[in-house]
Amino acid sequence: MKPIDFPRSMIVLAEDQPEYLPLPVHFDGETMTSCWKLSWRERLMLLFTGKLWLCQLTFGGPFQPQLPLTESPLAKSVS
């Protein structure tokens, strides 16, 4: 699974940090939205198991709310 650029992305987080993948996001002041592309193997695993694992690095800070989605929360025309 890799983060991908999308039409409404505004900034790229970790763009100059080689230890991380660059993360294109849309930010509205409260919510950061990113888009991820699954490999064929990941798609099959999700199809057959129905499970999606989500890891968040907190670096000792508080856990932030997460909302995994299968459709864009930004607009119906965004893919």
Query: How many Å apart are CA 28 and CA 37, to the nearest integer?
Result: 22
Does residue 45 fall inside a structural domain? yes
Does residue 8 fall inside a structural domain? yes
The pTM (predicted TM-score) of the whole model is 0.81
Query: How many Å apart are CA 22 and CA 28, to the nearest integer?
Result: 19
> Quick check: 39 and 1 in contact, CB under 8 A?
yes
The pair of structure tokens assigned to 60 is 């000792």
Q: How many CA atoms lie within 13 A of 35 on its CB side?
A: 17
Residue 24 belongs to domain spanning:
2-49
For the chain, which residues score pLDDT lower than 50?
Answer: 77-78
Does residue 7 fall inside a structural domain? yes
Number of structural domains found in the chain: 1
Does residue 79 fall inside a structural domain? no
pLDDT digits (tens, 9 = 90+) for 39-55: 999 999 999 999 998 88
Q: Write phi, then psi, for 26 (nearest 5 degrees).
A: -105, 130
Does residue 69 fall inside a structural domain? no
